[in-house]
Amino acid sequence: MSIRVGVNGFGRIGRVFFRTALEASGEIEVVAVNDLADAKTLAHLLKHDSVHGNLKAEVTAKGEAIFVNGREIRVCAIKDPAALPWKELGVDVVVESTGIFRDTATAVGLVLPKLKGKLDGIAIRVPTANVSVVDLVAELEKPATPQTVNDAFREAAAGGLRGILDATDEELVSADFNGNPHSSIVDLPSTAFVDGNLIKVLAWYDNEWGYSSRVRDLIRFIGKSL
């Protein structure tokens, strides 16, 4: 039996998550979305994506619903999330993708308490349609080399973080990572050290597809306890 999902906010992340859910082999079924745009507009945006390409499915709109390959997805337009009829629609899990309640800087400290007060960063907007890069500089407790650090990344990517972390030796650019489901892909040739313990690491990630893939994984995990 599939996990019935409601999506609050059907913008970039909401629609990309929908696409990743379609790849979940029937495990996840989006049954309703909430967005202030009408069903016809949402159906068009779901079908035609200038970054990820046209959705390979039949997408239509009728009344207050979107139909994907004949399957109905109810469309709501309610500003207050607490007033949404998720229970009536039989929703098991709700994906919050409006961005209104998201605060990355605060979230890092909550999810990884050991990094609270030790990690900071800024976001710089550049004219690319998609894909971001992390430029991480950190002071290590003891000296290391680019080789040992890269070997650790390779080991993690092939082991416990397989499918979440990846590492590449290729000389690639941002467009090469479009649609990549990993949360982070370390650019191994860029790893560098200063004075033995000050490290610089570059890592790419598709800020839409990678994030949505982790949301999909989380829903699969939650589904085991339903």
Residue 9, pLDDT above cutoff 80 = yes
Percent of the chain with pLDDT over 90: 81
Average pLDDT, the chain: 94
What are the tens digits of pLDDT across the range 47-77? 999 999 999 999 999 999 999 999 999 999 9
Instruction: Using the predicted structure, report yes or no on whether residue 146 has a pLDDT greater than 80.
Output: yes
Residue 71 lies in a domain: yes
Do 36 and 99 belong together in one domain?
yes
Percent of the chain residues topping a pLDDT of 70: 99
Q: What band does 172 get if pLDDT is binned at 50, 70 and 90?
A: very high
How far does Cα 126 stand from its chain's mean position?
A: 19
Of 18 and 100, which is predicted with more confidence? 18
144/78 same-domain check: no
163: left (phi over 0), alpha (psi -120 to 50) or beta: left
Cα torsion 16, 19, 24, 29 to 10°: value is: 100
> Using DSSP, how many helices (H) and how many strands (E) does the chain show?
5, 11
What is the reported pLDDT for 77?
A: 96
Whether 121 is in a domain gets the answer: no
Q: Is the pLDDT of residue 87 over 80?
A: yes
pLDDT at 19: 97
**Would 108 be classed as within a structural domain?**
no
Residue 160 lies in a domain: yes
Mark whether 62 and 98 lie in a shared domain. Answer: yes
Kindly write down the DSSP assignment for every residue of 15-40, as one continuous string.
HHHHHHHHTSTTSEEEEEEE-SS-HH
Q: CA 146 from chain center: how many Å?
A: 29
pLDDT of residue 14: 98
What pLDDT, on the 0 to 100 scale, is given for residue 194? 84
Mean pLDDT across 88-113: 85
Contact 136, 108 (CB under 8 A): no
Query: What is the reported pTM?
Result: 0.89
Nearest C-alpha neighbor of 64 from the set 95, 85, 87, 80:
85
| CA separation for the pair 72, 74 (Å, rounded) | 6
pLDDT greater than 70 at residue 105: no
**Mean pLDDT confidence for 209-221:** 96
For the segment 201-210, the average pLDDT, to the nearest whole number, is 97
Domain of residue 94: give its range.
Answer: 3-103+212-223
Is the pLDDT at 120 greater than 90? The verdict is no
Average pLDDT over residues 5-21: 97
Give the chain's domain count. 2
What is the average pLDDT across 104-125?
Answer: 79
If asked whether residues 80 and 152 sit together in one domain, one would say no
Q: What is the arithmetic mean of pLDDT over 16-34?
A: 95
Domain assignment present for residue 164? The answer is yes
Look at residue 124 in the predicted model and tell me its pLDDT.
82
Question: Based on the domain organization, do 41 and 94 belong to the same domain?
Answer: yes
